[in-house]
Amino acid sequence: MTHQISIIVLLASLLIVSACSEESTLVSKAVAMPSANMSGAKSEGALSAEAIKIILQKKLPGIEISSIEPSPKEGFFQVFYNGQILYVSADGEFVFTGNLLGLVENGPVNLTEQAMSLKSSEQAPVRAKAIAALSEKDMVVFKAKDEKHVISVFTDVDCAYCRKLHKEVPQLNASGVTVRYLAFPRAGVGSSAYDKLVSVWCADDKQLAMNNAKLKRQFSPKSCSNPVASQYQLTRDFGLSGTPALLLSDGELIAGYAPHAELIKHLKSKTKQKASSAKKSEQAAES
């Protein structure tokens, strides 16, 4: 009985879908990787990544694995799933979650965080293409009068941090940031959260319905042909696990709430960097 309870607890800890994501960090930290053994899972008796995937899918049914790679620690794979990482021994017999820290000269380095950041950067073009293919008529859009930036936000009306971000939409709009909402019912299709989002997307005035849902906790049940399920599927494809999840036009993912002042500063910085890169490219072409 104790063994069965332990298995249930492990599954719950691995497969739980994150609730509202807390404040996001928009400052990138450049740190050196440990110079220790980085041969990853290449050890005697190691299974292939595909074999590890089969084992995990059998023993942890429901896990949505996006990729499996050797980890910085020899004898272990790092498994990317639902926007998270878990570590599996090369023989497929042990699993652990949490942050893998590497000890370097200046102190510990969060290798899990680095791996997640790198994976997110690699997937940015895919996210950008998918979002660009969507029509704004299938979103709930709060458009800036003098639009300078556009952010697409996967949201759930039951999320406290989503409500906190929504309260700052006027400030974002005033600074030229258009906010486009996409549906992310964290509990899945058919859930209460799903029904609430459907009522927003099916409302005659979607902006008013979103305001009422997030700021007043008021809902008017309504149904129609809607994109909520397909947008939820996008969150699965992107490996998102929490709300709000902000996507910029280049596919950059900001996981969690970001104060409007920091978000605006980040958007301006990206615009400045893009302009600088374009100017350097022009100069190089002319020389």
**Domain boundaries, given as residue ranges, for the chain:** 29-123, 134-274
Q: By the 8 A CB rule, do 193 and 186 touch?
A: yes
pLDDT number for residue 21 = 62
pLDDT classification of 216: cutoffs 50, 70, 90: very high
* Selected residue with higher pLDDT from 49 and 27: 49
What is d(CA 59, CA 63) in angstroms, rounded to the nearest whole number?
A: 9
In this chain, the answer to whether the domains covering 29-123 and 134-274 adopt an identical fold is no
Cβ-in-10-Å burial (0-12, 13-18, 19+) of 275 comes to exposed
- Check whether 94 has a pLDDT greater than 70: yes
Q: By the 8 A CB rule, do 193 and 185 touch?
A: yes
Please give the mean pLDDT across all residues of the chain: 85
Active-site residue, from 20, 127, 156, 158: 156
CATH for the 29-123 domain, from 3.40.50.720, 3.30.420.40, 3.10.450.70, 1.10.2020.10: 3.10.450.70
Q: Supply 192's token pair.
A: 């209460």
Q: By the 8 A CB rule, do 166 and 158 touch?
A: no
Active-site residue, from 127, 163, 180, 186: 186
Q: In which residue are the tokens 């000269």 written?
A: 105
Q: Supply 221's token pair.
A: 């049940």
- Check whether 285 has a pLDDT greater than 90: no
Backbone dihedral region for residue 257 (phi beyond 0: left; psi -120 to 50: alpha; all else: beta): beta
Has 127 been annotated as catalytic?
Answer: no
- Check whether 28 has a pLDDT greater than 60: no
pTM: 0.75
Q: By the 8 A CB rule, do 42 and 126 touch?
A: no
pLDDT classification of 76: cutoffs 50, 70, 90: very high
pLDDT number for residue 188 = 92
pLDDT number for residue 215 = 94
Q: Which fold has domain 134-274?
A: Glutaredoxin (3.40.30)
Lowest mean pLDDT among 18-32, 145-159, 231-245: 18-32
Has 156 been annotated as catalytic?
Answer: yes
Q: In the chain, what percentage of residues exceed pLDDT 70?
A: 83
* Selected residue with higher pLDDT from 3 and 116: 116
Q: How far is CA 215 from CA 123, 147, 163, 167, 254, in A?
A: 33, 24, 7, 8, 23
Has 186 been annotated as catalytic?
Answer: yes
Lowest mean pLDDT among 33-47, 67-81, 106-120: 33-47
Active-site residue, from 127, 162, 163, 180: 162
- Check whether 112 has a pLDDT greater than 50: yes
Active-site residue, from 127, 159, 163, 180: 159
